[in-house]
Amino acid sequence: MAIQTVKYLTSCLLPCYASFPAEVVLCITSSKIAPTLCPDDVAEETYARRTIEATLTLSSKEKSSCNQCLYSYTFTYDDEQLLDGEVLYAADISGVFCKDCFTKWVEDLVGNEPFFTDNGDGTLTYTSPHGCTFTFNGTVP
């Protein structure tokens, strides 16, 4: 695990522009992102992602040569989110958003991965995306 830095220039003002450090999500256009392991203890299946988590550590307002207002953002990220040997460049970033109130609302709405637990006594316990548990008779297929 190594923390890396990438600088990104855009005309978009982020709501967390002046909040340091601020949690953000970077949308990545390249295939540099490491596959994520599914939360299943048995099979080692993975799925592809198109975003990584990062931290906004610095921002500034600049003017382009055409007198357009631009914002410079410096992000840090854990390089374990990328494939081995890959480095993130500004050109790899297609967008960014702050992990703010809206993000928390979506995370609350979606919840976590649901799963079944075999209790070993002929019953199964289902844990819903929001952590609610339901136990019933049956076995894991």
pLDDT tens, N- to C-terminus, the chain (141 residues): 799 999 999 999 999 998 889 999 999 998 999 988 776 555 677 778 899 999 999 999 988 888 889 999 999 999 999 999 999 999 999 999 999 888 888 888 888 888 788 888 888 888 888 888 889 886 555
Q: Residue 19: its pLDDT value, please?
A: 87
Q: Please calculate the CA angle 14-11-5 and round it to the nearest 5 degrees.
A: 65
Q: Residue 2: its pLDDT value, please?
A: 93
Whether the Cβ atoms of residue 67 and residue 131 lie closer than 8 Å to each other = no
Distance CA 123, CA 7 (A): 53
The token pair that represents 72 in the structure block:
């410079």
**Strands laid side by side in the 93-98 sheet:** 3-10, 69-78, 51-63, 22-28, 93-98
What lies within 8 Å, CB to CB, of 95 at 6+ separation is 26, 27
